[in-house]
Structure 1
Amino acid sequence: MPVATPAQYRAMLDAAQKGGYAYPAINVTSITTINGALKAFAESKSDGIIQVSTGGGEFASGTSLKDQAFGAIVLAEATHRLAEKYNILVGLHTDHCQPKKVDSFLKPLIAETAKRRAAGLNNLFQSHMLDASELPLAENMRLSKELLEECVKHEIILEVEAGVVGGEEDGHDTSGVAADKLYTTPEDMVEVYETLSSIGRFMFAATFGNVHGSYKPGAVKLKPTILRDGQAAVTAKHGAAAEMDLVFHGGSGSLLEEIRETLGYGVVKMNIDTDTQYAFTRPIVDHMFKNYAGVLKIDGEVGDKKTYDPRSYLKKGEQGLCDRMKEACNDLLSTGKTIFGTV
C-alpha cells in the first residue's frame, strides 16, 4: 500500500533527515495532478508528499458545493487508490490551514482518519499543517499544542509555522507583512521545540525570507543560515537528538544552491506549487495555440474533436507537471532513495 502508514511516514522523515535529502511536496487539485505527481515520484524512484490546501479542497468538491473538507477527502481517497499501483511511498498532507478554518477543515479530516482507523484502515492523511503564524507566538503555540495533542491520538504528525512566509498563495495573502516577520528567530525555534516536543512528533515551517509565488532571480532574499542558527540553539540546550524536521515553504523559484544548503540544516520537506502550476498550464496553452482552429468552431466550422477533447491537452499538462516534479526530486536529492519495501 504505497500511501504510507504512520510508521512508514515517520521512517520516510527519518531517512531524509539521516540521508541529507528532502521530499518534494506538491499541492494537487484534481485526479490529473495526482497522476502527474505519482508518475514523477515513480519514475524518479523517490518517495514524496502529496498535499491539499483549503482552496484545493474547495475546488475539488465542485463549484456548486465549495466544501473544503469534503473535497480534500475526495482527493485523498483518490490518491490512496491510485497510489496502490506504484512502487514508491507517498504521504498525504494538508497545507496552510489558518486558525479560523481549524473547525471546518482540519477537525473534520482528523475525524475522518479516526473513522478509518476504527475500521482497520490506514490514516486518510499522515500529517496536517496548522498555520497560526498570524497569531502572537504564545497564542500560536497554545493552539498548536492543543491540535498536536489531538493529532497524536491518531498517529498524525502536525506541521506548525512561526514567522510568516511572504507573498500570496491560494487566497492567503501576507504581502503586507513587515519584513522582519519573514525571519524566524533562534528564540522562536527553542520555544516551539520546548512547547511541542514532549507531546509528539511535529514538523516546523521556520521562515527565512521565503516567499510564496514566482519572482525573478534576486528578488527573494533567503537567509538559510537562520535555520542553521535556530537548530544550533535548540540542540545546544537539548542535545543533538532535538534537531527538528524543518519544512521549506515557497520553494518554487528558489536557487539550487539555496535549496541544497537548507538540506544540511534539517529540511526534510519542500513545498512546490507555483512552478508546478506553470509546468501544468504551459503545455496546455501550447496545445491551444497550435490547434486554434481545431479547438474553436471558427466561422461555423465543426472544429477537430481530437484537439478539443479535454484528454488531448490534460495529458500534456500531466506530463509537464511530472517533468517539473522529477526536477524537484533531483534538486532535493531524493531521486533513487525510496524506502518502499524496506519498512
Structure 2
Amino acid sequence: MPLVGTTEMFKKAYEGHYAIGAFNVNNMEIIQGIMEAAKEENSPVILQASEGARNYAGQEYIVGLVKIALQDYPEIPTALHLDHGSSYEICKACIDGGFSSVMYDGSKHPYEENVRITKQIVGYAHDKGVVVEAELGRLAGVEDLVSVDAKDAIFTDPDQAAEFVELTGCDSLAIAIGTSHGAYKYKGDPYLDYDRLEKVGKLLPDYPIVLHGASTVIPEFVEQCNAYGGKVLGAKGVPEDMLRKAATMAVCKINIDTDIRLAMTSAIRKALAEDPSNFDPRGYLKPAREAVKQMVMHKIEAVLGSANTI
C-alpha cells in the first residue's frame, strides 16, 4: 500500500471517537518500533518528521526508510507528515519529496500572515493530492530546540479558528488548549480547556482537530533514565486520561515525540550500564527499538483508542 493522506483516517477517527497517533521519527529503529506496534495493534499510524529530523537524517533517508516500512507492513494505513514546517519553501520541498501530509506552523506570525501563507501552501498541496495541517494559537515549551515562553503561549480563539479554516481551506487544525512541547509541560497541575475544545468542535462540526505537545512523559522512563545516570528532573506531561477524553471529542490526531525519546534513551542507558563492555550499537539499539514498540502499543490502547480500527 502506498502512503495515504489523513482524510479518511481522520473521518473514521471522528466517527469512532478515537485519535490517530502521530509519532516523530528520526532513524530506522524508531520507524521499525512504531510500525511493529501498529501491526500488533491493527492501527493506522502517522509517521512525522520535524525540520530537525530532516536536518539530522536527511529527507531522502526518511522517505526511503518509510517506503521500506510500507513494503513490510502494506496492510497498515500510513501517512508521512511534516511536523512544524516553518515556511512555504520547506512545505513545498516535502510535498515534492513524497510526503503525503504537511503541517505549516504560522502561529508565530500575525493572524493575517498566517492565513496568507497557509492558504498558499494549501493551494500547492491540494494540487498534488497532499493534505495540510495548520496551527492557530501558540504552545509553550521546547519544540525542536526552539523555546516558547509560557507567557507567550496563546490559547486558540474558537471563533477565529472557524474563520481561519474557512479562509485557508486547511484540512486539519492544531489548537492550543493547554498542552505544551517538551518534557517539562507543567509546573502546577495539568490542565486542558475542554470547554474551548467543545466550542471549536461545535463551530467546526466533523472537522479534525490536532493536539501538539501531548506526550505524557511516562514516569517509568524518566525514573529509568535517572537511575542509569540521566538527569531528567521534574519532568511532567499530560495525563493519559485527559488525552483520552480529548480523543473522544473533536481531536483526531495526537502528537507524541518526547515519550519516544524517553523510551529509547532509558533503554539505551540501561543496556550500556548493565554491560559496560558492549560497544556494538546493535546491542543497545535492539532494546531501544523494543521500548519504542511497547510504548507505542500502550499509547494506541490507553490514549488513542485506535486499536483494531483498520
Instruction: Check the 8 A contact 1:50/1:90 in 2, yes or no.
Output: yes
1:72 aligns with 2:59: yes
- 1:188 positional shift: 1.6
Instruction: Check the 8 A contact 1:4/1:89 in 2, yes or no.
Output: yes
Q: Secondary structure, in 3 states, of the residue corresponding to 1:96? A: strand
Matches within 5 A, 1:103-182: 103=89, 105-112=90-97, 124-175=98-149, 177-179=151-153, 181=154
Q: Secondary structure, in 3 states, of the residue corresponding to 1:308? A: coil
Instruction: Check the 8 A contact 2:3/2:70 in 1, yes or no.
Output: no
Matches within 5 A, 1:180-219: 181=154, 183-197=155-169, 202-215=171-184, 218-219=188-189
Aligned residue number for residue 193 of structure 2: 223
Runs of 4+ in 1 over 3 A off after TM superposition: 3-6, 215-220
Q: Secondary structure, in 3 states, of the residue corresponding to 1:244? A: coil
1:262 aligns with 2:259: no
1:95 aligns with 2:65: no
Aligned residue number for residue 295 of structure 2: 324
Q: Distance in 1 between matches of 2:188 and 2:299?
A: 20
Q: Secondary structure, in 3 states, of the residue corresponding to 1:161? A: strand
- 1:308 positional shift: 1.5
- 1:4 positional shift: 3.3
Q: Which amino acid aligns with 1:312?
A: G
Q: Distance in 1 between matches of 2:135 and 2:4?
A: 24
- 1:50 positional shift: 0.3
Aligned residue number for residue 290 of structure 1: 274
Matched residue pairs, number?
Answer: 286
- 1:189 positional shift: 1.2
Instruction: Check the 8 A contact 1:211/1:220 in 2, yes or no.
Output: no
Q: Distance in 2 between matches of 1:267 and 1:111?
A: 28
- 1:20 positional shift: 0.8
Q: Distance in 2 between matches of 1:290 and 1:228?
A: 48
Post-superposition Cα deviations, 1:195-226, rounded to whole Å, max 9, x if no partner, equal 133xxx51100110210112368544321321
- 1:176 positional shift: 5.1
Aligned residue number for residue 41 of structure 2: 44
Q: Secondary structure, in 3 states, of the residue corresponding to 1:133? A: coil
Q: Percent of pairs identical after alignment?
A: 28
Q: Distance in 2 between matches of 1:275 and 1:255?
A: 12
CA RMSD in angstroms comes to 1.7
Q: Distance in 1 between matches of 2:12 and 2:194?
A: 22
Matches within 5 A, 1:231-310: 231-232=201-202, 234-235=203-204, 242-253=205-216, 254-292=238-276, 294=277, 307-310=278-281
Q: Distance in 1 between matches of 2:215 and 2:188?
A: 13
Aligned residue number for residue 225 of structure 2: none
Aligned residue number for residue 120 of structure 1: none
Q: Distance in 2 between matches of 1:193 and 1:107?
A: 20
Aligned residue number for residue 55 of structure 1: 52
CA gap 1:154/1:35 in 2 versus in 1, 3 angstroms: same
Question: Structure 1 unaligned runs (5+)?
Answer: 61-70, 113-123, 236-241, 295-306, 339-343
Post-superposition Cα deviations, 1:110-140, rounded to whole Å, max 9, x if no partner, equal 223xxxxxxxxxxx21110000000111110
Instruction: Check the 8 A contact 2:91/2:121 in 1, yes or no.
Output: no
- 1:76 positional shift: 1.6
Instruction: Check the 8 A contact 1:13/1:245 in 2, yes or no.
Output: yes
Q: TM-score scaled by structure 1?
A: 0.79
Instruction: Check the 8 A contact 2:82/2:101 in 1, yes or no.
Output: yes
Q: Secondary structure, in 3 states, of the residue corresponding to 1:192? A: helix
Instruction: Check the 8 A contact 2:37/2:294 in 1, yes or no.
Output: yes
Aligned residue number for residue 239 of structure 1: none
Question: Structure 2 unaligned runs (5+)?
Answer: 217-237
- 1:319 positional shift: 0.5
Larger radius of gyration: 1
